[in-house]
Amino acid sequence: MSVQAALVVAIAAVFLAIVLGRLALAWRRYRGQRVIACPETRQPAGVMVDAGHAAVTALGGAPELRLSSCSRWPERAGCGQACLGQIAAAPEDCLVRNILVKWYEGKTCASCGRAVGQDEWLAAQPALMGADGVSFEWSRISADKLQETLAAAKPVCFACHTAGTLVREHPELVSDRSCRSA
């Protein structure tokens, strides 16, 4: 292979790496469930951006955002998607995962008192405890009800959630070994 051919291949590889990197960054930035304030109702709504479209259009400059889903659809599917301005202005702030990370920050488990930190998310996700004392995974909450649910819930670590779920759903498998004074 000549030096010129090697140089052309190297330039093409660098160009391809830049293009793929830009695609990946845009896709990562706009993927995931989000909570926005619907401009029509001023109420929370759960939305998802078409991350693939945003990534492809980001190659030409600023990404073109459009929704792939909304909790107000299909009734309001023809809306002007004015909420996209909120996402463009602060894409990280309306991401459900980031909202949850901030909510759990500095909190302790309502059952055992252990700190519930972001490092726990690597192995297993923490849960929430409702007013009824029953824990549940946050993935069961619709994005449009997230703020309302977080206002009334308490944090629960993964271990306590798992143990509580086992006791609740399979009591026949549980042995109570707590000390009982006579």
120 contacts 149 by C-beta, under 8 angstroms: no
Q: Where are the domains of the chain?
A: 95-182
Which regions in the chain score pLDDT beneath 50?
Answer: none
Cα distance between residue 156 and residue 120, in whole Å: 11
Please report the pLDDT score of residue 121 as a whole number: 66
CA dihedral (55, 56, 59, 62) positive or negative: negative
Four-residue CA torsion sign, 33, 96, 122, 125: negative
pLDDT for the residue 19: 81
pLDDT of residue 179: 64
Residue type, 156: V
State which amino acid sits at residue 129.
Answer: M
The whole-number pLDDT of residue 33 equals 92
Q: Give Cα separations from 162 to 80, 114, 128, 167 (angstroms).
A: 43, 15, 12, 9
Tokens of 126: 């923490």
Count of alpha carbons within 13 Å of 105, Cβ hemisphere only? 7
Residue 155's pLDDT is: 94
CB 41 within 8 A of CB 75: no
